[in-house]
Copies of this chain bind each other. A is one copy, B any other.
């Protein structure tokens, strides 16, 4: 499948990410339909001109017409949907997703999928701490990373189409990783940080702390407003990589604690200088 202006796009799941995709693609003149869970989302999407057609039903026509189907649902919902409904795809359909872990999703979907359709997995590294279509906004894709995780089962054409989708959505950097590299990276950059933010919010319940907080604490806990269902699923699907990164963090945190305990100012300062230097690599590129 080549991705071009005639591509008929179906989005399954119109939440904060699916909604952003729909708005971005519709604005650029693509035909975008959607199947989603709740009628209020359907109403919102139609009212805001985000999609051509939207329904809560398993609309066989919409599925059959689609050349590109984007799953923007929880990983377990995605896998079950494929099992239950893949007989409805037209031959040659390209399937992609937005799932935050890959190892336990890509292999399973590719192994159960019909051989006349292709699944190419991608992870848009952008989100919001609130869920639901009304919080969707394609602006969050600008300046953000979009990672494609192809396997030996993918075609060159499928990979290209998936990358083209990332470009059209406005992502700043499109890259390729293996599912394993992706999951290791995401365990550190995203899952570990969510575990830390949640812990900061639950480890100290002293009253009135909010009256004295500064921006540092606010920044470190912004993502502690978390979709508990989705993230517990993501954590468990990536358990070995996440546990490894949590241990790596605990070890270094304990080392730094020991330095403070010993009053080893020299080594504390060396660690902080290293952190300062390394952090500058992670500055957001100017849009």
The residue of chain B having its C-beta at the shortest distance from the C-beta of A274 within the complex is B202
Q: Kindly report which residue of chain B lies nearest to residue A268, judged by CB atoms.
A: B232
A212's contact among B125, B221, B283, by CB below 8 Å, is which? Answer: B125
Q: Once the chains are docked, how many angstroms separate the CA of A278 from the CA of B205?
A: 9
Chain A contact-residue range equals 35 or more
Contacts of A218 in B (CB 8 A): 282-284
**Interchain CB contact under 8 A, B252 and A214:** no
Interface string of A267-279 (1 = CB under 8 A from B): 0111111111011
What's the Cα separation between A66 and B284 when bound, in Å? 44
Interface residues of A in 134-165 (CB under 8 A from B): 144-145, 147
State how many copies of this chain the complex holds: 2
Q: Judging by beta carbons under 8 Å apart, are A248 and B145 in contact?
A: no
In the bound complex, residues from chain B placing their C-beta under 8 Å from that of A189 are 209, 212-214, 216-217
Q: Which of A36-44, A53-61, A108-116, A237-245 contacts B (4 or more CB under 8 A)?
A: A237-245
In this assembly, does A220 line the interface, its C-beta being within 8 Å of a C-beta of chain B? yes
Q: Which of A181-226 contact B (CB under 8 A)?
A: 185-186, 188-190, 192-206, 209-226
Asked whether, in the complex, the Cβ of B223 is within 8 Å of the Cβ of A216, the reply is yes
Tell me the nearest residue of chain B to A278, going by C-beta: B201
Stretch from A16-24, A81-89, A254-262 that touches the partner:
A254-262
Whether A200 lies near B204 (C-beta < 8 A) is no
Q: Determine if A173 is an interface residue (Cβ-Cβ < 8 Å).
A: yes
Whether the pair B216, A275 counts as a contact (CB closer than 8 A) is: no
| Cβ contacts under 8 Å, A193 to chain B | 200, 216-217, 219-220
Min Cβ gap A145→B in Å is: 5
Residue of B nearest to A279 (CB): B224
Is A236 an interface position by the 8 A CB rule? yes
A47 touches B (CB below 8 Å): no
CB of A213 within 8 A of CB of B268, answer no
> What are 11 A-B contacts defined by CB distance under 8 Å?
A185-B209, A189-B214, A190-B216, A192-B200, A204-B245, A213-B282, A216-B222, A217-B282, A226-B272, A229-B269, A232-B269
Beyond the given pairs A190-B217, A218-B282, A219-B220, 20 more chain A to chain B contacts, judged by CB atoms under 8 angstroms and listed by A's residue number, are: A125-B214, A185-B209, A193-B220, A194-B216, A198-B271, A200-B249, A201-B275, A201-B278, A202-B256, A203-B249, A203-B253, A216-B222, A218-B283, A220-B220, A221-B279, A224-B278, A228-B276, A235-B268, A239-B263, A243-B260
6 closest cross-chain pairs (CB), A and B: A203-B252, A228-B272, A201-B275, A228-B269, A125-B214, A198-B275
